[in-house]
């Protein structure tokens, strides 16, 4: 018997990052990634990826150490939002309704079992291009930047979690996400699990934090239109002195073409391209990778770089 899935979350909306060097971080998002500034508020600057229909894509907030603030998840409807809030409250993981964010209306705050902050919402403001970034074609959010990586939209968020199992149960249960691929170690432990809330093959990912520190970030990822944008971004980062951690290469898991860099504040940023890959089967069965398969490295043989297992933000104590 197939259990019908109601899709209550539409997509990842935006994310807040903390950085000890906000001006340098903002310059990275603008100059190397091709985003544009979309507003300021207090210690925060808002950045917009050119085809994001919403008011902002990343909120960059000055803070002592790098790390991740709220991840905003847009519901598929007001009704869906209320269903998810009820589920979260029943599970005792809810916090409260707020209305404190640029471009967003009522937001319901909650936390996954690892302590990552989430904000569920429906009401959102459309991005309004001004003179400089008004597009020639009205079916795109802003003019094409033609700068750096030209990231089109936020693609996914990959959390480090001390409690992958708990977070996983929360995401599947309370939020209705579907797991699509996972790594299962010989010990039986899940080292990483990929969840989708859309037709993309993943939107939210939990990776086991070997330091046992809860609530950290592994990386956030932006989608580019082409793999060439990513190759070009590598040159741009090289010349700008941005730390390239690994890539470009292609993941075996999920098959994403990737480049990982560290923005000046220390947060890991992925540039990713999935080609025309979508996960359209409504009855897709989660696929498991063994420890041995994982040890083979990436799709074309690149060994996983050591920092990929150790670096997260904020730094572990």
What part of residues 180-199 is at the interface with its own copies (CB under 8 A)?
A: 181, 198-199
Binding mask 23-52 for its own copies (x = CB under 8 A): ---------x------------------x-
Site for its own copies in 82-121 (CB under 8 A): none
Task: Supply 85's token pair.
Answer: 């809030």
The torsion angles phi and psi of 128, rounded to 5 degrees, stand at: -110, 110
Q: Please identify, using beta-carbon distances, which residue of 24 and 40 lies nearer to its own copies.
A: 24
Q: Please identify, using beta-carbon distances, which residue of 200 and 216 lies nearer to its own copies.
A: 200
When asked if residue 309 is in the footprint of its own copies (CB under 8 A), the reply is no
* Helices within 7-73 (DSSP H only): 22-27
On whether the CB atoms of residues 171 and 112 are closer than 8 A, the answer is yes
Q: What's the min distance (Å) between Cβ of 181 and its own copies?
A: 6
Q: What's the min distance (Å) between Cβ of 227 and its own copies?
A: 6
Locate tokens 């700068």: which residue? 147
Q: Please identify, using beta-carbon distances, which residue of 65 and 77 lies nearer to its own copies.
A: 77
Q: Please identify, using beta-carbon distances, which residue of 111 and 284 lies nearer to its own copies.
A: 284
Site for its own copies in 125-184 (CB under 8 A): 135-140, 143-144, 146-148, 150, 152-153, 155, 181
When asked if residue 213 is in the footprint of its own copies (CB under 8 A), the reply is no
Number of residues that bind its own copies (CB under 8 A): 81
Q: What's the min distance (Å) between Cβ of 47 and its own copies?
A: 17
Residue 258 to residues 12, 159, 310: CA-CA distances in angstroms? Answer: 19, 17, 19
Task: Indicate which single residue of 37, 234, 307, 309 sits in contact with its own copies (rule: CB under 8 A).
Answer: 234
On whether the CB atoms of residues 66 and 20 are closer than 8 A, the answer is yes
Site for its own copies in 238-297 (CB under 8 A): 238-239, 241, 244-250, 252-255, 257, 259, 273-278, 280-282, 284, 287
Q: Which stretch binds its own copies (CB under 8 A): 3-11, 55-63, 104-112, 262-270?
A: 3-11
Task: Indicate which single residue of 233, 267, 270, 311 sits in contact with its own copies (rule: CB under 8 A).
Answer: 233
When asked if residue 307 is in the footprint of its own copies (CB under 8 A), the reply is no
Contacts 24+ apart (CB under 8 A), 22-31: 22/60, 22/61, 22/62, 22/265, 24/264, 24/265, 25/60, 25/263, 25/264, 25/265, 25/267, 26/60, 27/264, 28/240, 28/242, 28/263, 28/264, 29/58, 29/60, 29/263, 30/147, 31/147, 31/148, 31/240
Q: What's the min distance (Å) between Cβ of 135 and its own copies?
A: 6
Q: Which stretch binds its own copies (CB under 8 A): 14-22, 37-45, 159-167, 299-307?
A: 299-307
Q: Please identify, using beta-carbon distances, which residue of 104 and 252 lies nearer to its own copies.
A: 252
Q: What's the min distance (Å) between Cβ of 211 and its own copies?
A: 24
Q: What's the min distance (Å) between Cβ of 192 and its own copies?
A: 14
Q: Which stretch binds its own copies (CB under 8 A): 57-65, 183-191, 219-227, 308-316?
A: 219-227
Report the candidate in 13, 5, 8, 175 with the shortest Cα–Cα distance to residue 76: 8
Distance CA(227)–CA(114), nearest Å, equals 34
**Residue 4, class by beta-carbon neighbours within 10 Å (0-12 exposed, 13-18 middle, 19+ buried)?**
exposed
**Within 13 Å, how many C-alpha atoms sit on residue 229's CB side?**
25
């Amino acid at each position: 018997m197939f259990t019908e899935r109601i899709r209550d979350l539409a997509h990842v909306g935006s994310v807040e990052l903390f950085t000890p060097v906000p001006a340098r971080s903002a310059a990275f998002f603008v100059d190397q990634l091709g985003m544009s500034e979309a507003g300021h508020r207090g210690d925060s600057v808002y950045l917009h990826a050119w085809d994001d229909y919403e008011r902002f894509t990343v909120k960059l907030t000055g803070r002592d150490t790098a790390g991740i603030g709220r991840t905003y998840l847009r519901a598929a409807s007001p009704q869906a939002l209320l269903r998810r809030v009820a589920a979260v409250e029943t599970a005792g993981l809810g916090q409260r309704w707020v209305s404190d964010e640029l471009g967003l209306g009522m937001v319901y705050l909650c936390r996954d079992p690892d302590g990552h902050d989430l904000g569920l919402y429906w009401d959102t403001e459309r991005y309004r291009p001004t003179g400089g970034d008004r597009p020639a074609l009205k079916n795109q959010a802003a003019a094409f930047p033609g700068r750096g990586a030209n990231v089109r939209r936020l693609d996914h968020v990959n959390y480090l979690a001390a409690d992958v199992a708990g977070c996983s149960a929360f995401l599947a249960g309370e939020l209705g996400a579907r797991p699509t691929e996972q790594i299962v170690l010989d010990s039986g432990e899940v080292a990483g699990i990929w969840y989708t809330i859309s037709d993309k093959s993943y939107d939210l990912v939990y990776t086991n934090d070997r330091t046992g520190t809860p609530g950290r970030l592994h990386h956030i990822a932006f989608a580019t239109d082409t793999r060439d944008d990513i190759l070009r971004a590598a040159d741009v980062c090289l010349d700008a002195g941005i730390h390239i951690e690994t890539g470009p290469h292609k993941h075996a898991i999920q098959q994403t073409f990737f480049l990982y860099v560290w923005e000046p504040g220390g947060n890991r940023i992925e540039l990713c391209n999935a080609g025309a890959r979508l996960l359209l089967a409504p009855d897709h069965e989660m696929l498991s990778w063994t420890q041995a398969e994982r040890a083979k490295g990436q799709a074309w043989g690149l060994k996983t770089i050591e920092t990929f297992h150790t670096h997260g933000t904020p730094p572990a104590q």
